Amino acid sequence: MNGAQALIRTLAGCGVEACFSNPGTSEMHFVASLDAVPALRGVLCLFEGVATGAADGYGRMTGRPAATLLHLGPGLANGLANLHNARRARTPLLNVVGDHALSHKRFDAPLESDLDALARSVSGWVRRSLRSADVAPDAAAGVAAALGPPGGVATLILPADVSWSDGAEPAPPVPSRPPSVVPEPVIEQVRRATSAGACVILLGGAALRRPGLEAASRIAVASGARLLCETFPARLERGAGLPGLERLAYLTEFAQAQLAGTTQLILAGARAPVSFFAYPGLPSSLVPDGCQVHTLAAPGEDVCGALTDLAERVAPDARPQAQPAERPALPGGELTAEKAAAVIGALLPDGAIVSDEANTSGLWLPAATAGAPPHDWLTLTGGAIGQGLPVATGAAVACPDRHVLALEADGSAMYTISALWTHAREQLDITTVIFSNHRYAILDLELQRVGAAAGGAAARSLFDLSRPDLDFTALARGMGVPAARAADAGEFADELRRALAEPGPHLIEALVGQPG
């Protein structure tokens, strides 16, 4: 058996079921081995940023790593921004990056680059297999490293000759580790903090799934502590019947207002809050002056277990506060981002997965969908735009029985628009809504906020997505995705209903802003 065959069998044996791929010459033996192992599904992505973002979406929804297959340094480099988002999300993910044959590297052939440096910039684990006999145990170690806990990006570099040489055999999975248990004295210290003043519990990571949310809600009911969710959660379970949760705001002043007066800040799977950017005259740390910070559970620790233990101490008889079922009324008239949010809230299907990259157009979405049937909300964890369509791809591969909604700002959608082709190729049940405001609207705001001189025509033209206007329906149809456009709220509701009723991918371009 050659290295590639042993690798693919090992990945399948370790529970890796999908490989989001954009291969080249150095990966041909890996590609050739896929037919023999149907348990590993190869999914072609036409840009590496789609492959890495899809693996992120897959890992967020399953808790297990998908693989990517990438072509040397340049292929990995094309995937870096979404690997950065995956790293911030602590998503388990294994990159397999083909490299030149070991004997070929000294010739500095055109695709030679500092692949290791690129890999290390996003990966918690990097290994280059040097013999075919090592590939399988290296892959099993890579899967284990990706799983953590906490989860993370692992990168296995696979030289072409190691891939094609015989002498390999599959390796068994490396047993996974459970998250470490939070020591009793820590829980006791945090228990005291819940009654020591104005207390906020900032929830993140695994605390944002139902068991963590319900335990946190019981603590809040009994102690009067307020709950907040980290600004950009990897995966937040929300909707009717779950405890509702406000997210810490993106804008520094709003986040400051949410935390004002807090004297005890408890971190449950979240990091101490910081401002997204520095602004003249505003602090970088969002922890109020004099506030004591307590870490109940750091990433990699059993945050749900710790919250449950704390709830038993603080709130043995309290019940979690469930969000009531309620949906907005369907609006009429000219479509706006606010009305689009109401339509989405009115029609969001039970068990939907929302990949949210709506940016400024998404302001109204949390309130409009709060009482919709239970769903998962996936957000832009690392701030590198171009994530939403790929993450939706991976979520749909992971959860074929659920509706996936990709809520996309037009500028962000363009980074990785070729994901639509994979939506069509794989017939994924994804409805993409493009919020067409024809601008990088947030940058209009940021221009003022950083105190730059008022932008003139040259400055503003860098935020303007008109001239020419983007025709998303044509782009979608050109990649095999049925598409429609809506300028009216009723029309948008009709199109959304139709898209959700029909299997397979759809795109609706929601005209929510004037061009230019």
Ligand X SMILES: Cc1ncc(C[n+]2csc(CCOP(=O)(O)OP(=O)(O)O)c2C)c(N)n1
**Residue 52 CB partners (closer than 8 Å, separation 6+):** 20, 68, 70, 79, 80, 82, 83, 86, 93, 95, 390
Nearer to ligand X, 161 or 410 (CB): 410
Least distance in angstroms from the C-beta of 151 to ligand X: 22
How many residues of this chain interact with ligand X, rule: CB under 6 A?
Answer: 18
Residue that the structure tokens 């890999």 belong to = 119
Eight-class DSSP state of 360: G
Three-state secondary-structure class, residue 399: coil
Specify the stretch interacting with ligand X by CB under 6 A; choose among 13-21, 135-143, 353-361, 501-509: 353-361
Q: Does 412 bind ligand X (CB under 6 A)?
A: yes
Question: Which residue in 122, 341, 442, 493 binds ligand X (CB under 6 A)?
Answer: 442
Measured distance CA(338)–CA(495) in Å, rounded: 17
Q: Does 443 bind ligand X (CB under 6 A)?
A: yes
Residue type, 284: S
Q: Does 410 bind ligand X (CB under 6 A)?
A: yes
Specify the stretch interacting with ligand X by CB under 6 A; choose among 105-113, 157-165, 241-249, 355-363: 355-363
Three-state secondary-structure class, residue 208: helix
Three-state secondary-structure class, residue 433: strand
At CA 205, angle to CA 200 and CA 211, rounded to 5?
80
Q: Does 475 bind ligand X (CB under 6 A)?
A: no
Q: Does 411 bind ligand X (CB under 6 A)?
A: yes
Per-residue binding string, ligand X, 382-401, x by CB under 6 A, is -xxxx---------------
What SS3 string covers 326-356?
A: CCCCCCCCECCHHHHHHHHHHHCCCCCEEEE
Nearer to ligand X, 106 or 467 (CB): 467
Nearer to ligand X, 275 or 321 (CB): 275
Pick out residues in 46-105 that bind ligand X (CB under 6 A).
81
Specify the stretch interacting with ligand X by CB under 6 A; choose among 62-70, 105-113, 438-446, 490-498: 438-446
Nearer to ligand X, 151 or 386 (CB): 386
Question: Which residue in 219, 437, 475, 484 binds ligand X (CB under 6 A)?
Answer: 437
Measured distance CA(113)–CA(484) in Å, rounded: 43
Nearer to ligand X, 100 or 439 (CB): 439
Q: Does 360 bind ligand X (CB under 6 A)?
A: yes
Alpha helix ranges (H) inside 66-111: 72-78, 80-89
Least distance in angstroms from the C-beta of 33 to ligand X: 34
Q: Does 439 bind ligand X (CB under 6 A)?
A: yes
Nearer to ligand X, 58 or 472 (CB): 472
| 489 close to 330: Cβ distance less than 8 angstroms | yes
Question: Which residue in 255, 396, 430, 441 binds ligand X (CB under 6 A)?
Answer: 441
Specify the stretch interacting with ligand X by CB under 6 A; choose among 137-145, 312-320, 396-404, 434-442: 434-442
Least distance in angstroms from the C-beta of 438 to ligand X: 8
- The partner residues of 432 in beta bridges, in order of sequence, read 406, 507
What's the length of the chain? 516
Q: Does 512 bind ligand X (CB under 6 A)?
A: no
Nearer to ligand X, 75 or 513 (CB): 513
Tell me the residue nearest to ligand X as measured from the CB. Answer: 411
Integer CA distances (angstroms), 387 to 304, 415, 509, in order: 27, 8, 18
What DSSP string runs through 130-193?
A: -SHHHHHHHHHHHHHHHH-SSP-EEEEEEEHHHHH-B-----PPPPPPPPBPPPHHHHHHHHHH
Nearer to ligand X, 67 or 442 (CB): 442
Least distance in angstroms from the C-beta of 376 to ligand X: 22
| 271 close to 204: Cβ distance less than 8 angstroms | yes
User: Could you list the residues that contact ligand X (CB under 6 A)?
Assistant: 81, 359-361, 383-386, 409-412, 437, 439-443
